[in-house]
Chain A
Amino acid sequence: MAKLEFNFGLNETESTQPTEALSGYNFELELAATRLFPRKPIDRKATVPNAGSVNGLMQLVERDGTETSLVYGAEATTPTLYSWTGGDTSTAFTNVRTTTMASASMLRDTYWSLDDHLIITDLRKLTPLLNWNGTSASRHKTNLGGGVTTANTAITESPSGTYTVLSAAHGLVPGDLAFVVGAVPDALNGEHEVTNVPSAGAWVYTDTDSIGNSSTHGTTEKDVDLYAKYSIVHNNRLWLFNITTIEGGVKTENPHMVLASLFEDSESFDTVNRNGIATGNAAFFTLTPDLKEINGVALFNKQLIISTHDGALHRLSGLDAADYQFTTYYAGSAAVSEEATVNIGNDVIYMLRGGGIDLLGATDTSGDVRADDVSRWIPTTTKDLTESTAVYDQQNQKVFFFLPDKILVLFKDILATGGGSPWTVYETDLTDSDGSIFDTKGVRYMFRPTTTDQTIYFGDSDGNIYDLNGTGVGDNGSNIVVSRKTPLLDTTRQTILLGNIQYRRLGEFSCSLIFDWSSEYNTTQCDITLKGPSSTQTEVAYYNDAAYYENPATSNTRTDYYNEGFTFTGKVSKQNFSPAGRSDGYFMTYYSESTVQFQIDNINLPGAEF
């Protein structure tokens, strides 16, 4: 008897094995597992108070384990950065910042361990660099002065910790960064975020209490506004990529620029001295070798890798500001999209033009070879893809490529062990006002707030936050549609097919086995109701209490063990089926729409040759 099992995933080539799927979606894979089972449900966890598009999910886990989560509700009129405790109530969200936030921004975070805070960048470069320290969100200091100074006439502290700087025509607005230089006491000097502008001649900032009033007042200098698409911490520096600056009202785009902070100081940058001129631990800037826009950044094997748009991958080498430089991989190795490059623990994976998905490790050792294309099993699905957001689920060893209407899912462990396709596809009936919820602008692998479980959270354009590894009923109550089609299965004889489906009793639901006969222009299907555990009988205490050994004639009132045919959750069951039609071969598609987390062990197809 030919037993059909489900070890591997989607294989759209002509070499599909019976253990793979020619097409389909929403079936899950697991290393060394042979069963057919659906992906986990998608739980809606919360909705941001302003119901704006979730354009960013961030999380700070401090050295002592304290965890805070941020959600960016990019509502059109009042885009707001919230801290979030994980609940679905208004009290679970706290507004932490609205100043200088742009509604189209897509915020991403990087952890700077030395000061226990997050640095927040914007893929759209509309919101300047921000900083989250666990309690407040502020402008991230950059030590980049604008060069235009105005003299201060006084700095007064009132109330304690609030400092008003009198400086004529300072030109500042709330949310700006400004330097105070030359004031006495010295503690008044430094880079401050403007919290209030009472008049054209005064501005206010907050700092530590009781510094006191100035005796020498110094000058005010407005900062350069710094925007970056990407950030990463590498070799004790904060690196920023794809830069925009606004200085004196003049916006300068430098999409090919990389800024490296001062060694072990994330708040000091230099846009004047480039690598080689700057030396040692100094901050510096550098440009991409091909001078093209940076569209991806990742760390792999202690190496910093960047991708340039329509350019190539480049690897950073060197030890300090004097000799840092980028080395280029082969032309055409570049990634597409803004977030399709991701570190997957043992490698970097990225999407190429045309939809190919490559591994940097193979590219590094072999160059432009087919072997590095991990999407070679799914050429149809990935053909002509140009946009994707990739995220790595370390706990479940999966890589997700979010597309506008689906997610491509790569099972890293199956890829590593080989034997068949490591791919599946997730689809969902859940939609927001823009279409599928998978068309997300904010996705992150993070801890479920206040827990130690890690998962993938993502948001939709209506402010909803979802857990991709949910535990609820279906996709927020909706059915999960599972489809899985076999390759062409040849049969030894043209007889009526009498097969059986072996499953576990986890919940009653209906499925269909659809047969597409090879020599008939016809499909037929078997609709089968797979049973659940008994609804009237609780699970039997089988071997672990007195129920089994007690004397039924005296003390044992439980009869369930001896009941003939009792059922319990997970019991192995079988049902036969016989589809109308016969042929010398067929494609068989499993199809179901259900909220049940079912398990089908195998499908026996007598006569099929495999």
Chain B
Amino acid sequence: MTFLESINRMLRLATVMQWDDDDITSFSQTQHGATISLARQAIQHVTNDLIADRFLFPEKADSTITTADGTQKYTLASDFVRFEDKNNFFFQTDSGIPNSQFLSEYPGYEAALKKQVPKYASTTGTPQWYYFTDDQEIGIYPVPGSVLVYRYDYQKDVMPENESDSLPVQSEQMAYAYVDMATRIFSFLFTQQPIEGFEKDVIYLRAKAALMALNVKEPPSNRYGYSYNG
């Protein structure tokens, strides 16, 4: 279920859309401008809640950076959260320069590099190291002197942002439960009920329990304790 579809489902459940209302086809439609905005926040609220509960994790993804002659710094993917590996690295996809197949993080990070190689930001050569810059970009040392393509594996943000983004769950049933949770949050926000009692809200908790149950191979027993015959 896409983010857009989830918003439509939520607005129907909350009876914000009813009668002749058509499904929205874009978040920029103004007929339901206020409630679309609120519904998007509700989905994101649930996503945060599930990440915090360690039910959702960032997803694995990969991307590349392409160096340019004399360019020191490069941006990472917009949904980058962290590198996939603990000992993270970049590796060259075409092995154009055999002795630069991997870029490891510079020991001591940029602070150490500054002390050890004062002209690190302008010294060109065969790239060997990378480091995080103060502005959250990737710096390469020595500065590349040619076009090279480096791939990296990372964990991406699962927070839905765009209309076509999918909800970060595996099935439609899970998505329904996901939307049920979000709809309850939407109702709290829309009616301006005190949000401090929300964590005890039965409807929200039942929807969350359903989502958890749908995530395992078999649903857990709905009863506790032993069963005795005769």
Contact = CB atoms under 8 A, between A and B. Distances in A.
Interface stretch (B26-34, B177-185, B212-220): B26-34
Given A495-B192, A496-B190, A527-B29, A580 B34 contact: yes
Contacts of A576: 16-19, 21, 31-32
A11 B22 CA distance: 35
A525 B34 CA distance: 10
Contact of A575 (B21, B34, B191): B21
A524 B20 contact: no
Contacts of A573: 19-20
B142 to A, nearest CB: 51
B33 A575 contact: no
B208 to A, nearest CB: 25
A548 interface: no
Nearest to B17: A576
A526 interface: yes
Contact of B33 (A526, A529, A531, A574): A526
Contacts of B33: 524, 526, 578-580
Nearest to B36: A578
Interface string B5-24: 00000000000111111100
Interface-centre pick from A496, A525, A530 (highest chain B CB count, 10 A)? A496
B122 interface: no
Contacts of A527: 29-31
A580 B191 CA distance: 15
Contacts of A581: 34
B25 to A, nearest CB: 11
Contacts of B21: 575-576
Interface string A530-551: 1100000000000000000000
Contact of A577 (B31, B37, B38, B190): B31
A531 B31 CA distance: 14
B35 interface: yes
A579 B30 contact: yes
Interface in B29-88: 29-35, 37-38
Nearest to A580: B33
Given A495-B192, A576-B21, A528 B31 contact: yes
B30 A525 contact: yes
Interface residues of A, number: 24
Contacts of A574: 18-20
A496 B31 contact: no
A582 B30 CA distance: 15
A578 B20 contact: no
Interface-centre pick from B16, B18, B34 (highest chain A CB count, 10 A)? B34
A574 B21 CA distance: 8
Nearest to A493: B192
Contacts of B34: 496-498, 578-582
Nearest to A525: B30
Interface-centre pick from B17, B18, B20, B38 (highest chain A CB count, 10 A)? B20
A579 B20 CA distance: 17
B20 A496 contact: no
A106 to B, nearest CB: 48
Given A496-B38, A498-B35, A580-B37, A524 B19 contact: no
Contacts of B30: 524-527, 579-580
A394 interface: no
B35 A496 contact: yes
Contact of B20 (A495, A497, A498, A575): A575
A505 to B, nearest CB: 9
B19 A577 contact: no
Contacts of B31: 526-528, 575-578
Contacts of A526: 30-33
B226 to A, nearest CB: 50
A498 B11 CA distance: 12
Interface in B123-155: none
A498 B192 contact: no
Contacts of A500: 19
A500 B34 CA distance: 14
A555 B31 CA distance: 45
Nearest to B14: A498
A567 to B, nearest CB: 10
Nearest to A571: B20
A527 to B, nearest CB: 5
Interface in B157-209: 190-192
A89 B72 CA distance: 79
Contacts of A579: 30, 33-34
Q: Sort A-B residue pairs by CB-CB distance and give the 4 closest, nearest first.
A: A574-B19, A580-B33, A578-B34, A578-B35
14 contacts: A495-B190, A495-B191, A496-B34, A498-B34, A524-B30, A527-B30, A527-B31, A574-B20, A575-B20, A576-B31, A576-B32, A578-B16, A578-B33, A579-B33
Interface of A: 493, 495-498, 500, 524-531, 573-582
Given A576-B32, A580-B34, 4 more contacts: A498-B34, A498-B190, A524-B30, A574-B19
